[in-house]
Structure 1
Amino acid sequence: MTAHHCSCPSFQWSSTRPQLDVPHDVTPSQLETLLNGLRQTEERLPYSFFIQEQELAAELGAHLLKHKAGFCGVCAARGVSPSGSVQGPSSDTVHSQHCRACSPDGQRLASGSGDTTVRFWDLNTQTPQYSCKGHASWVLVVAWSPDAALVASGKCDHDGGVWLWDPATGKALGQCKACFLDGHRKFITSIAWEPAHIELPCRRFCSGSKDATIKVWEASTRRCLITMSNHTQAVTQVKWGGDGLIYSAARDCSINVWAAADGRLVRSLKGHGHWVNTMSLSTDYALRTGAFDHMGLAPGDIDARKAAAQQRYDAACSARPERLVTGSDDFTLFLWEPSTQKQPKARMTGHMQLINQVTFSPDGRWIASASFDKSVKLWDGVSGTFIATFRGHVGPVYQVAWSADSRLLVSGSKDSTLKLWDVRSKKLFMDLPGHADEVFSVDWSPNGHSVVSGGKDKLLKLWRQ
């Protein structure tokens, strides 16, 4: 077996290493044992294996026969296992860290805070870059455009303002009052950008508000293009799907599906008995990283980047249509195929308290849910079948985030800790103490290098291998 270098940046096998001969009936677990033995360390790490971009899930010989694959080598990949943390200097510690998001290329971080600023950080040097002022109240939402060229932020205020920032300079788009996208009557709860395979450079985004409306904005002119209003209570989250649909969840217990082109209501998804808090699309990772597929495309090669984003999205939907999962205060999750039907595919029960977040794994195979019942649950991403419960937190779990290879899951809790879970073994992989108070938010960079967390202790922590 020739082990080639891996696309996952956390592990590379040098081409100068000796070739290894393995039997045709070798299994992934046996290969994992072999590689851990070659590493000659006590730490056992989870691996996945690929042949011509097809994951090895059975015996090697059977896999080659099934996929009619040539024997060109096996690539071994694993997720990052954080072992430390860094933070900005004391002058950069701010009020409670409410939101943060890694850029689609995994190079930078945008964070929003209770001190009314948006901050940009360099994830490679682990240093702050810009502190952006303009908001008059707490920053509740930050969202990167899929081409990483712009960041939109929303605040907690009666006038529901949205600001646009250039992460390369830290400057707001426009001048003075023109920087401010005015339209919502109450504070912003969620922002989502139009996917890169639909439009590149990215120019449109939508915002959801407590005023029960969704607005579509033109970034370059800072104009509101469409206002969508069918919800009767606050919109809690919006998602811009890859097939021309916008999804909105609200406290009126419904999920609405809108046509992005004209704001027409396509269908309303009903089933939850209480507020719908959170949504995730099976294509989230493909939509997030589509313009950065690590193929060495030049930044200015827009057509190639758009084509690559389309290819990534098509691959994510090759087996089945784009799926949506929702979580609610009624302790349940629902799995939908909203582009084709209004009835849920599955109703998922088991949590004992309200659900804070749901999220699909990057490969779409799994769904993770975080709840006030102090647990994280794992579900099948296609059928909605319950798989496992991860227990270990002693306080409500606020957020979870997946590694790029879908093998590891990190959770942040009110108990001030993060915990890393191994999806294959269904067990705790690593405990990550370090925060002094509640961990409000957590994100895993798309390139797999970093986990970022922030919380009530006014600190932003970066965890790296």
Structure 2
Amino acid sequence: MADRPAKARKVAASSSSPSANVIVQFESEDGVAAGPQLDVPAEVTTPQLETLLNGILSNEHKVPYSFQVGGLELAAPLGDHLRQHAASVEAALKIVYRPQAVFRVRPISRCTASLAGHSEAVLSVSFSPDGKHLASGSGDCTVRFWDLDTQTPLKTGQGHTNWVLAVAWSPDARLLATGDMDGKVWLWTADTGEPLGLCKGHQKWISSIAWEPAHLAYPSQRFCTGSKDCTIRVFDARTRRCQLTLSNQSKAITCVTWGGDGAIYSSSRDTTISVWDSKDGHLLSCLRGHAHWANTLAISSEYALRTGPFDHTGSAPEDAEGARKAAEERYKEATSSRPERLVSGSDDHTMMLWQPSSSNKPIARLTGHHQLINQVRFSPDGRWIISASFDKSVKLWDGMNGNFVASFYGHVGPVFQVSWSSDSRLFVSGSKDSTLKVWDMKSRKLKVELPGHSDEVFSVDWSPDGGSVASGGKDKVLKLWRH
């Protein structure tokens, strides 16, 4: 009998019996096989695979896993997935497993407080790494600190002379740095909101602020700022003096971020991304590929670097060395499967995925958006990238190889910012259409729609402890959202 044609040798042939079995092999992300090949029913579900894998790995406590087959997330019973994607099972089917957070963040569902006080648009909001403090910057030239227990104003920080564009907490949750349109940078205490002093040096507006990671210095000592004056400056938080001035890019700096290996990354309107040594300020490499302004950057370990020694409950060792070691362990865990990756978003409607430690060439060019990219964010586990765009959509990408995964439609205006929940299972988006939307990673669908703002939503942030989302915008109101 002649061999069947290749097309007929697909598992997912509609004639396949629903009770047919499939030979599978579990593999880690690194390609290491877990246990022997197994003969499982085609109708096996992801919870059943999870139970099976926990037994194979002899996990003392049940660990939640997600699974991929052929690079695609397994969300349906195995047989349905194979039929849908016409996958072949002539050889053992490889199922790649990835551990997920053992805790779950509940989706926010309601506004619990509308915090008035700012007299102009709220331009930036940020929770502290331990989730216990919240700060906002506004067009009214003030920085406001908010009491999360009572959901009331705590302190109004005055000193800025123009719009406050950027706010950034130190990884030890003790300091806040803020930057404005006049190029002024102020430092504040986290607990009381008292000003510590002014950091001088920039001549034009501050676009971005990033702190040195906690595992490299604890308590936090240094932070860097990017400015329209085309320079990046590294300041000492104790003396408030500029230690280094980094200048290589010919146009405004749009974003800075400080990597866990000590490198500082800066994106610019001259289309380039520069990589700097934070010790002496020399240029390590220049990443080229974008055809227009590079607007935004994110690194795969950003959640571990943001939260430093604090776990998802906001707890951290009390002694400095213990906290530094805890931060170091979290960073090592975040980079255990692959070195730190960088993603950049641009006005050219594309993104680039990089691995700067090994090459100045991009791993992948991510295309699909039809208008400029406002913001990119890696998930806390480093597996996914989400991108917010003026084309009114949010797109999901594989954080390892840059492959497109899904589009999220629902907003009727440009999407300005996005923020992940700490368990990587949900994310929230804020838009010009005055709404926030919560999206579910498992179903790839809208989970909750949150109207409430009366105008454009400029900034959103999900607290590291997962309990709250803060949003601010053109209506001058800061809103808190909880389950």
Note whether the superposition's TM-score is higher than 0.5: yes
Rounded Cα–Cα distance in structure 2 between residues aligned with 1:315 and 1:28? 29
CA displacement at 1:74 relative to structure 2: 5.6
Deviations 1:387-437 (A, max 9, x none): 000000000000001011101111000000011111111111111100000
Aligned Cα RMSD in Å?
1.8
Distance in 2, matches of 1:350 and 1:134, equals 43
| Stretch moving more, 76-85 or 221-230 | 76-85
Alpha-carbon distance between aligned partners in 1 of 2:428 and 2:144, rounded to the nearest angstrom: 23
| Offset at residue 123 of structure 1 (A) | 2.1
The separation in 2 between residues aligned to 1:135 and 1:28, in whole angstroms, is: 56
Q: What is the DSSP-based 3-state SS (H/G/I as helix, E as strand, rest coil) of the residue aligned with 2:55?
A: helix
Aligned partner (choices 202, 216, 219) of residue 198 of structure 1: 216
CA contact (8 A) 1:214 1:229 kept: yes
Matched, 1:170 2:193: yes
5 Å-filtered alignment, 1:236-385, equals 236-293=254-311, 300-385=318-403
Deviation track 1:53-86 (CA, whole Å, cap 9, x = no partner) reads xxxxx34123321x2423x446764322112214
Q: Which runs of 5+ in 1 are unaligned?
A: 1-23, 32-57, 174-178
Residues 230 and 252, structure 2, Cα contact 8 Å, conserved in 1? yes
User: In the aligned structure 2, how far is the partner of 1:221 from the partner of 1:171?
Assistant: 16
Rate the CA distance shift 1:145–1:59 in 2: closer, same or farther, 3 A.
closer
The counterpart of 2:104, out of the listed 78, 85, 94, is 78
Q: Distance in 2 between matches of 1:240 and 1:329?
A: 22
**Using the alignment, how far apart are the partners of 2:169 and 2:452 within structure 1?**
27
Deviation (angstroms), 1:339: 1.4
Post-superposition offset of 1:247: 0.2
> Displacement of 1:168 after TM fit?
1.3
Sort the Cα spacing of 1:89 and 1:231 in 2 relative to 1 into closer, same or farther, 3 A: closer
Provide closer, same or farther for how the CA distance between residues 180 and 77 of structure 1 changes in structure 2, counting only shifts above 3 A: closer
Letter in 2 for 1:308: A
Is 2:172 the counterpart of 1:147?
A: yes
Distance 1:280 1:74, change over 3 A: closer
- What CA distance in whole angstroms lies between the structure 1 residues aligned with 2:477 and 2:434? 12
SS at match of 1:392: coil
1:389 to 2:407 alignment: yes
- How far is the alpha carbon of 1:447 from its aligned partner? 0.7
The 8 Å contact of residues 419 and 461 in structure 2, kept in 1 or not, is answered as yes
Match of 1:116 among 141, 154, 160: 141
> What amino acid sits opposite 2:432 in the alignment?
K
- Mapped partners of 1:450, 1:444: distance in 2: 6
Return closer, same or farther for 1:146/1:59 CA change in 2, 3 Å cut-off: closer
**CA deviations over 1:10-53 (Å, ceiling 9, x no partner):** xxxxxxxxxxxxxx99977558xxxxxxxxxxxxxxxxxxxxxx
**1:126 and 2:151 are equivalent in the alignment:** yes
The corresponding residue for 1:69 is 59
**Quick one: structure 1 residues 59 and 181, their matched pair in 2 at CA, closer, same or farther if it must change by over 3 Å?**
closer
Q: Residues 28 and 184 (structure 1 numbering): CA distance in 2 closer, same or farther, change over 3 Å? A: farther
Q: 1:324, 1:335 within 8 Å by CA — same for their partners in 2? A: yes
Q: Could you list the runs of 5+ residues in structure 2 that have no partner in the other structure?
A: 1-39, 65-101
CA distance in 2, matches of 1:296, 1:284: 17
1:89/1:416 CA distance change after superposition, 3 Å: closer
Aligned-partner Cα distance in 1 for 2:161–2:141: 6
SS in 2 for 1:309: helix
Separation (CA, whole Å) in 2 of partners of 1:63 and 1:166: 45
Shift of residue 188, structure 1, vs aligned partner: 0.6
Q: 1:267 and 1:290 mapped to 2: Cα distance?
A: 27
Structure 1 residues 459 and 295, CA, compared in 2 at 3 Å: closer, same or farther?
closer
Q: Which amino acid counterpart does residue 83 of structure 1 have in structure 2?
A: S
- CA–CA distance in 2 between the matches of 1:331 and 1:431? 26
CA distance in 2, matches of 1:333, 1:300: 40
Whole-Å Cα distance in 2 between the matches of residues 266 and 447 of structure 1? 35
1:460 partnered with 2:451: no
What is aligned with 2:16? Answer: none
Once residues 423 and 202 of structure 1 are traced to their aligned partners in structure 2, the CA distance between those partners, rounded to angstroms, is: 34
Q: Secondary structure of the residue that 1:359 maps to in structure 2?
A: strand
Does the 8 Å contact 2:309/2:317 carry over to 1?
no
User: How many residues are paired up?
Assistant: 406
Cα pair 2:115 2:479 within 8 Å, conserved: no
Report what 1:416 is aligned to: 434
Rounded Cα–Cα distance in structure 2 between residues aligned with 1:363 and 1:126: 30
- The answer (yes or no) to whether the contact 1:104–1:147 under 8 Å persists in 2 is yes
Secondary structure at 1:410's aligned position in 2? strand
Contact 2:438 2:449 in 1 (8 A): yes
> Matched residue of 2:119: which SS?
coil
